[in-house]
Amino acid sequence: VQRNIGVPVAHGMIALASLKKGLGKLILNRPAIDAELHRNWAVVAEAIQTILRRENYPNPYETLKNLTRTGSAIDEKTIEDFVNGLSVSDSVKEELRAITPWNYTGF
């Protein structure tokens, strides 16, 4: 069975080398990325939902679903108004306000 390990490991090494080479060719358009994040604050909904779950807020998924699936743009003001309307402590609201598309990475 050990003789079958070499081929998958070699394929993985080739794939990683190819990935490294490809990533080296990328050129980021930072102004476009910032503009896109500024227009789409819905990316922080996951972080907000996680904190609401931690705080035992009732139905956090459905609450955020109602906010983000309206078909309209979710901007900073929308998120700010949403956070202000939540029935949570002021310290939790401050924690939620600190989340932005630029500092939330999904981890």
Domain ranges of the chain: 2-27, 32-97
Distance CA 91, CA 23 (A): 40
Q: At what angle do helices 90-97 and 45-54 cross, to 10 degrees?
A: 160
Q: How many Cα neighbours within 13 Å face the side chain of 45? A: 18
pLDDT band at residue 107 using 50, 70 and 90 as cut-offs: confident
Mean pLDDT of 55-71: 93
User: Which CATH number is associated with domain 32-97?
Assistant: 1.10.40.30
pLDDT in tens, 23-48: 999 999 999 999 999 999 999 999 99
d(Cα 102, Cα 79) in Å, to the nearest integer? 14
> Is the pLDDT reported for residue 4 higher than 90?
no
Q: Is this model's pTM higher than 0.85 or not?
A: no
